[in-house]
Chain A
Amino acid sequence: SQTIHQWPATLVQPVGSPLSLECTVEGTSNPNLYWYRQAAGRGLQLLFYSVGIGQISSEVPQNLSASRPQDRQFILSSKKLLLSDSGFYLCAWSNGGRYNEQFFGPGTRLTVL
C-alpha cells in the first residue's frame, strides 16, 4: 500500500530564516506531487505541483520554491521566511491513473515569529 510522509510535523522559525520541508511517497512510482498551504481556518492554496523529476509548476509567485530531486521526493524551500509564510503545509500525491484521487500527508505546521 502507499504511504506519504512529511517532516517535520511542527516547526517554529524566525523571520528571515531558511526553510526546508520534505515529503516522500512510498509504494508507488512516478506520482504527481503537490504542495498546498492552509492558513488558519482557511481553505487549501495550491503552491506547487510536479509531474516528474525536475518538473515543477508554480501556482503562486512568492518566496517559496520546490524541488523534486527523486521520483518520490518533493521538497519545499525558502531562503528567507516571512511572517505570512505561517500556516499548515500539506503534501499530496496522485497517480493520474484510473482513480485520480489525491492522498495527503499528515502536514507540517509552520509558525514564523
Chain B
Amino acid sequence: AQKVTQAQTEISVVEKEDVTLDCVYETRDTTYYLFWYKQPPSGELVFLIRRNSFDEQNEISGRYSWNFQKSTSSFNFTITASQVVDSAVYFCALHSSTSGTYKYIFGTGTRLKVLA
C-alpha cells in the first residue's frame, strides 16, 4: 500500500525564521513521483515541485529547498527566511504509475503560520 505521512499538523514561526516541513512516504514501486503543493487561504492548490524516484538531487528555488532521501523515504521541504505570505497549508503527495493506478496519495497537510 502507498502512504504519505505529514506528522506536523501545524507549525508556527516568526517571520525570517527557517522552517522545515516533513514528509515521509511508503511505496513498493521503484518508479514514483513526489510532489509538494501549497494551499493558500484562497483554497486553490498550487504546484510547487515534482521529484522522480531516480533523481535524488536536492533542489533550491529561491527561498524554497527540497531534500529527497530514498534511504529514509523522506521528501522534506525547507523555507528559508520565512515570510507572512508563506502562511498556508502544504501538502506532500505521491504518485506511481507502475502499479497501474492513476491515483495520487496526499498527506494530511501541514498548516504553516508565519507571524509578523
User: Contact residues of A with B, CB < 8 Å?
Assistant: 32, 34, 42-44, 46, 49, 51, 57, 59, 88, 90, 92, 94, 96, 99-107, 109
Contact = CB atoms under 8 A, between A and B. Distances in A.
A107 B50 CA distance: 22
A100 B44 CA distance: 18
Interface residues of B, number: 21
B44 A107 contact: yes
A57 B37 CA distance: 24
B91 to A, nearest CB: 7
Interface in B23-50: 33, 35, 37, 42-47, 50
B102 A42 contact: no
Contacts of B103: 46, 49, 59
Given A44-B106, A103-B47, 17 more contacts: A32-B102, A43-B106, A43-B108, A49-B103, A90-B45, A96-B97, A99-B50, A100-B95, A100-B97, A101-B33, A101-B35, A102-B104, A104-B47, A105-B44, A106-B42, A106-B44, A107-B43
Nearest to B9: A41
Nearest to A90: B45
